[in-house]
Structure 1
């Protein structure tokens, strides 16, 4: 996926799924768990689980727009590659890491981007190119972080399973004790490790996902605020509006009007 902007953007809450990302032109700022990362052209990153971020384009213009590109990471491909690679990873590797783009990474990624112009070729070549990209990433400075995507049976894998389950059932009440049991952890251990990986407690993570989905629904059409609140799992529309304003800076109706003006 290619992302472009002809002007700087305000800070926008977003979710980084397991992904490889590279800035091709301009600059972007990401804030995660209170830490700020600035990306200039030629900087790449790997995120290994759905991570709540505040995203902001900080350098862009009509003559030189911001351009970034991303590729979803396939845990199955990474796990398969780990079988053939020596396990030299750090067990406590971060869930998000950045590094200057390496030519060995840029080469297969560039070939993948060129496939956007030839869909017939993409159907055949995209998968092997993506596999090669993962292989190169595993061999470079982002390798320790990427290994977490493919490693099974680890604490990180348990946290990722918990995050996936919260995402699938974000509109349902969250029973943390049951979630912990489902992924093979105690509630205390789940809370500690989940926050270490994502920057959020399980309940706060669910709230973040609900509000992101609510904003997507409201910006997509003519949905009512109250209906949307119930759809994403809120029992109280007033609580929904308060938390929406806290996250996005304005209550839902004003945020929708601002979006309409921008469009």
Structure 2
């Protein structure tokens, strides 16, 4: 049986530099960081995540999750998060993997294995942390070993990924996995609302269109949306706007007013105020801080 140290060695072998690394195995990404991070703002998609070395904090709304090499994380819907690598150093870098989850594959495996969906009347939070089993580590190690033999990936990688999903479906996160798979679950209704907001986040907020897309009343959608994402639909839209504006300012060197207008803000002062509330500094000062941190991390 493989152990977490072997998994860490494999991640380090196939991710020589800091950052997130796509691999030749579809949906599999490796993460490495040689120092603790400042808060990182991003949007998580449905995924299974393991930390093989180091420790991380993830915050969704007001919910805080801590996990390390003894735990795994499951994400059930697209959700804005704030993450913080808490333990990492050049001699013992943070090492992790992420496997993106496909609802169709989960659903097919449940039917094939005659695995009944977990009975839940209401959806739970979009993130869940559980103890990492030896079986999950073993399947993950076998998956990563395939990176050394690309000719075996098309045949053997799907088998290892199926085993990982099977182990998850038999574990504590079964409810989240099964909700991802079924289109008419409350979680999927919230997910349809999330998809509508992501497609239309630059436009004025339309609650009537959102509820029609989700197939829920406004009160039910608000309740379930906040349970899953930790925020209201309007707060979710604001976070998407601000994340996109931050990316525009950082990558395209546009000014704050232009970035705010591009993501749907009509008032520059409102944009600056909400940006500062989320990221802790006005747009230009925040981006300068980010660039300084990136430059300091560069070899």
TM-score by length of 2: 0.82
| CA RMSD of superposed structures (Å) | 1.9
Change (3 A) 1:66 1:183: same
Q: Which of 256, 269, 276 lines up with 1:238 in the alignment? A: 269
Q: Which of 12, 35, 47 lines up with 1:7 in the alignment? A: 35
Matched, 1:199 2:230: yes
Q: Which of 162, 169, 175 lines up with 2:206 in the alignment? A: 175
Q: Which of 166, 173, 185 lines up with 1:154 in the alignment? A: 185
Q: Which moved more, 1:79-88 or 1:195-204?
A: 79-88
Question: Which position in structure 2 is the counterpart of 1:78?
Answer: 106
Question: How far did 1:107 drift?
Answer: 2.4
Question: How far did 1:201 drift?
Answer: 0.8
Distance 2:258 2:169 in 1: 45
Instruction: Give the number of equivalent residue pairs.
Output: 263
Change (3 A) 1:129 1:216: farther
Q: Deviations over 1:79-110 (max 9, x none)?
A: 11222333251314533211121122222322
Classify the secondary structure of the residue corresponding to 1:64.
Answer: coil
Question: How far did 1:230 drift?
Answer: 1.8
Matched, 1:254 2:285: yes
Change (3 A) 1:249 1:93: same
Q: Deviations over 1:34-87 (max 9, x none)?
A: 232211213111010112322111111111111121111101111112223332
Structure 1: give runs of 5+ residues left out of the alignment. none
Q: Is the 8 A contact 1:21 1:70 kept in 2?
A: yes
Q: Is the 8 A contact 2:36 2:87 kept in 1?
A: yes
Matched, 1:87 2:120: no
Change (3 A) 1:120 1:226: farther
Change (3 A) 1:253 1:22: same
Q: Is the 8 A contact 1:23 1:69 kept in 2?
A: yes
Question: Which position in structure 1 is the counterpart of 2:44?
Answer: 16
Classify the secondary structure of the residue corresponding to 2:246.
Answer: helix
Matches for 1:87-126 after TM superposition, within 5 Å = 87=116, 89-91=118-120, 92=122, 94=124, 95-126=126-157
Question: How far did 1:16 drift?
Answer: 1.8
Question: How far did 1:215 drift?
Answer: 1.6
Q: Deviations over 1:199-252 (max 9, x none)?
A: 111111011111112222222232222221122222222211111111111111
Q: Is the 8 A contact 1:171 1:210 kept in 2?
A: yes
Structure 2: give runs of 5+ residues left out of the alignment. 1-28
Q: Is the 8 A contact 1:158 1:184 kept in 2?
A: yes
Question: How far did 1:120 drift?
Answer: 4.8
TM-score by length of 1: 0.92
Question: How far did 1:119 drift?
Answer: 4.7
